A and B are shown apart, each in its own frame.
Chain A
Amino acid sequence: MTDIPVIETRRLILSAPEPADYPKFKATFTSYRARFMGGPLNDYEAWMLYAAEIGHWQIRGFGMWMIHDRETGATCGMAGGWQPAKWPEREIAWVIWPEVAGRGIALEATHAARAHFYDTMGWTGAVSYLDPRNYDSIRLAERLGCKRDPEAASVDGHDVVYRHPAPEKLKNSQIADAIELELQSHAGPIFGRREEAPA
Chain B
Amino acid sequence: MSLTQAPVLEAGQLRLRGPEMRDFEPLAEFFADPDRAWGFGGAETRPDAWRWFASNIGHWHIHGYGYFTIEMTEGARPAGLCGIWNPEGWPEPELGWLVFAPFEGRGIAYAAALRARQWAYDALGFTTLTSNILPGNARSVALAERLGARYERTYQNVTLGEDMLFRHPGPAELDADGGMEAYA
A26 to chain B, nearest CB (A): 8
Residues in chain B near residue A50, CB distance under 8 A: 58, 62
Interchain CB contact under 8 A, B158 and A54: no
Residues in chain B near residue A42, CB distance under 8 A: 89, 158-159
A1-B5, A44-B158, A51-B59 known; A56 vs B88 contact (CB < 8 Å)? no
Interchain CB contact under 8 A, A1 and B89: no
Interchain CB contact under 8 A, A58 and B50: no
Residues in chain A near residue B46, CB distance under 8 A: 85-86
A187 to chain B, nearest CB (A): 32
Secondary structure class of chain B's binding surface, majority of residues: helix
Tell me the complex Cα distance, A107–B22, Å. 37
Residues in chain A near residue B55, CB distance under 8 A: 48-49, 51-52, 55
A90 to chain B, nearest CB (A): 15
Contact of A43 among B3, B54, B89 (CB under 8 A): B89
Residue of B nearest to A46 (CB): B88
Interchain CB contact under 8 A, A48 and B57: no
A42-B89, A58-B3 known; A53 vs B58 contact (CB < 8 Å)? yes
Task: Give B78-109 interface residues, CB cut-off 8 Å to A.
Answer: 87-90
**Interface range on chain B (Cβ under 8 Å from partner):** 20 to 34
Interface size counted on chain A using CB atoms at 8 A:
24
Tell me the complex Cα distance, A158–B86, Å. 33
Tell me the complex Cα distance, A49–B2, Å. 21
Q: Is B68 an interface residue (CB 8 A)?
A: no
Task: Give A23-50 interface residues, CB cut-off 8 Å to B.
Answer: 26, 42-50
Tell me the complex Cα distance, A56–B58, Å. 8
Residues in chain A near residue B51, CB distance under 8 A: 48-49, 52, 84-85
A42-B158, A55-B55, A59-B3 known; A47 vs B88 contact (CB < 8 Å)? yes
Residue among B5, B46, B56, B88 with max Cβ neighbours from chain A (10 Å): B88
**Which 6 interchain pairs have the tightest Cβ spacing?**
A51-B58, A55-B54, A55-B57, A85-B50, A54-B58, A47-B88
- 12 further A-B pairs in the complex, CB-CB below 8 A; given A55-B53, A84-B51: A22-B62, A42-B89, A42-B158, A44-B87, A45-B159, A46-B88, A52-B55, A54-B61, A55-B54, A55-B58, A58-B61, A86-B47
